[in-house]
Structure 1
Amino acid sequence: MKIKQVKSKKERFMDLLYLGDEDEDMINKYLKKSDMFVCYEENELIGQITILRLANKIYEIKNISIYEQFQKKGYGSKLIKFIFEHYKNKASIIILGTGECDKIISFYENLGFKYFMRKRNFFIDNYDHEMYEDGTKLIDMLYFKKVI
């Protein structure tokens, strides 16, 4: 797997970004200010991760997505572990937000993230349509952090 940083024209990966966030307006709020990395396997695009500096030594993973045919093969974990290594001298804490879906929460907890906060009604207040993950309607945003 090869990982490359995208420094310009990040919007060309919008179809991939939509897999992690279904709203273009929400994506546009962070995309230009974020660092984006894409991963390839034998020159085939697999997925991406987008991370934003929030404050001194605090970064937030804003979007991570893997094309469906490559999911459940370890690429998401590899991207997050890449972020831990790449930002180890810049960040002391990496946070992320996700919907309340047991499978996704378990994925992040297995990577060492710990729950720390809930934003009530986030998906209802910030999206113009109902959002579902693995059959579960998303209402609250759960935030997780990892000290690196």
Structure 2
Amino acid sequence: MEIRKVEKNKKQYLNLLLLADEQEDMIDRYLERGTMYVLEDDGVVAECVVTDEGGGVLELKNIAVTPDCQGKGYGKALVDFLVRTYIGQYTVLQVGTGDSPSTIPFYESCGFYRHHLVKNFFTDYYDHPIYECGVQLVDMVYLQREM
């Protein structure tokens, strides 16, 4: 398993990015200003993008694992890598996600706790309804963990 930084042609991983954020114009808002990493284990199986949000906050904007590789620890390995890589440079790692039973437990297992809620995020900023586990996402939950 190897994690490497992607400096050019980040959109070559669009299929992975779209697993975590299904509207391309939303990805375009952070992709170029973000730092991208891919995790390879006999091919690329996961990716993440982080951005500097100022005030000591590093935000995890996108993290995805190919469906056939989910549940094998690759997502947690990326989060652990980010903490190791950025410790001392940031005080908080933050992530915004849908209030979904499939994502919140993952982040909590990685040491994140609920911080705040942005009401109607998915209905205000996306051009179509976003569903996860058969439930329409409405609010964005921000979770944080100390670095």
Which TM-score bucket, shorter chain as reference? over 0.9
RMSD: 0.8
1:84 aligns with 2:83: yes
Matching residue's letter, 2:34: S
Deviations 1:42-67 (CA, angstroms, capped at 9, x unpaired) = 2x110101000000421100000011
Matched residues in 2 for 1:57 and 1:3: separation? Answer: 24
Residue segments in structure 1 that go unaligned for 5+ positions in a row:
none
Matching residue's letter, 1:40: E
What is the aligned residue count?
Answer: 147
Counterpart residue number, 2:29: 29
Deviations 1:82-122 (CA, angstroms, capped at 9, x unpaired) = 10101102111010011111231111111111111100000
Counterpart residue number, 2:131: 132
Matched residues in 2 for 1:107 and 1:119: separation? Answer: 20
Deviations 1:123-145 (CA, angstroms, capped at 9, x unpaired) = 00111111111111100000000
Length-normalised TM-score, structure 2: 0.97
Moved over 6 A (4+): none
In percent, how many aligned pairs have the same letter? 35
Q: Secondary structure at the match of 1:30?
A: coil
Residue segments in structure 2 that go unaligned for 5+ positions in a row:
none
1:59 aligns with 2:54: no
Matching residue's letter, 1:129: H
Deviations 1:3-50 (CA, angstroms, capped at 9, x unpaired) = 0000111111111100010111110110000000001112x1101010
Length-normalised TM-score, structure 1: 0.96
Matched residues in 1 for 2:131 and 2:90: separation? Answer: 31
